[in-house]
Amino acid sequence: MFDIQDYMTRGVERVVADALKATLTNPRESAFMLTFAASSAAASRKRRIAEDRGEHIPPFLIASITSRCNLHCAGCYSRCNNATVDSEPVSQLTSEEWFRIFDEADELGISFILLAGGEPMIRRDIIEAAGKKSGILFPIFTNGTYMDARYLDLFDKHRNLLPIMSIEGDREKTDSRRGAGIYDKLIENMDKLHSRGLIFGASVTVTTENYREVTSPEFLKELSGRGCKAVIYVEFVPVTDESQELAPGDSEREYLAREIERLREEAPEMVYISFPGDEKSSGGCVAAGRGFFHINSHGGAEPCPFSPYSDVNVRNTSLREAMHSPLFTALRDGSILLDDHAGGCVLYEKRSEVEAILSKNK
């Protein structure tokens, strides 16, 4: 029988071990990773103890800390879901509220909190608060346009803050999706981070148009040469009928899985992560608290960023209680997370069924 807790725990430990190997030439970074490895092991023990009590605690949390963004990237799921808007956000969680969530996550044994948005680096106050939670690793999924000297100093002081910059391949592909000049800004950021010995990663939205390029030796050699230590591949989710042809199908996902397996063997200087990855071999989608869940900028606990449905708000309840919401419980106990789907995100594709569960539980 597939053990999702064991699968996710081993995944966390592999990422930490790979990051340690990738930083052996940087004593300061290696010192941090050794400390974090101890924290991660302690968190794993907390999760295992909870599992033995019959309570499942996921190792990952995704936190969208703002609904603001300065870019209008083509096909952005967040804008199509109205989770990212141009108007001034209202009723968003404060830095104090996020810090309380980070505290609760630490106590539960959550090892990784992915900071997203909108554009998360707009919320410097929250990122500064995250830096103080040294036992948790905070990958920051950013478009890179807010990187400045103050942020570089912050990342230098708090090595648990890990910028993950979005790039789509070469200059043409990146700028065509994200806007003119973005590729050059990203390269400039990478060079600044590298010159200060700071670890960083790249996030790539995988489509039918770029899946070969973004796994090519040329592209990855360019990233590695500039100091990149992690590449996170995120499959494109078609949020409009017009973008369906961009969503990776079985052949593209199989190609991506093979290439990632090869890269882990042949190019271990970087860490390679695929999301959602091969769900068939991992026992289905790991959203809704199986492996992670999502908190939106207003505090709503959602199965994942691609499935913006919530029946509980962390403003009014604890993080532990949110993980056991009626919606999350129904999704984990049901079959939707295990269903086959065309690609990208099973919860997005099955959104009518998710909506039906939400309506039933109201």
pLDDT in tens, 45-60: 999 999 999 999 999 9
Please count the structural domains in the chain.
1
Q: 222 near 270, Cβ under 8 Å?
A: no
Residue 73 sits at the vertex; the CA angle it makes with 75 and 307, to the nearest 5 degrees, is 50
Question: For residue 313, what pLDDT is reported?
Answer: 96
Residue 111: closest CA among 63, 47, 68: 47
Question: For residue 1, what pLDDT is reported?
Answer: 45
Using one digit for the tens of pLDDT, what is the confidence trace for 139-153? 999 999 999 999 999
- CATH number, domain at 120? 3.20.20.70
Rounded distance, CA 263 to CA 268, Å? 7
Mark the ranges of the chain whose per-residue pLDDT is less than 70. Answer: 1-20, 22, 239-242, 277-283, 340-344, 362
Residue 69 amino acid letter: C
Rounded distance, CA 285 to CA 338, Å? 6
Question: For residue 122, what pLDDT is reported?
Answer: 95
Helix pair 4-22, 27-52: axis angle to 10 deg: 170
Question: For residue 291, what pLDDT is reported?
Answer: 86
Rounded distance, CA 163 to CA 142, Å? 7
Q: 160 near 111, Cβ under 8 Å?
A: no
Bridge-based pairing of strands 138-142 and 161-166 is parallel
Rounded distance, CA 121 to CA 166, Å? 13
Q: 161 near 127, Cβ under 8 Å?
A: yes
Question: For residue 240, what pLDDT is reported?
Answer: 67
Residue 189 amino acid letter: N
Rounded distance, CA 260 to CA 233, Å? 9
Residue 236 sits at the vertex; the CA angle it makes with 235 and 240, to the nearest 5 degrees, is 155
Domain that holds residue 222: 4-361
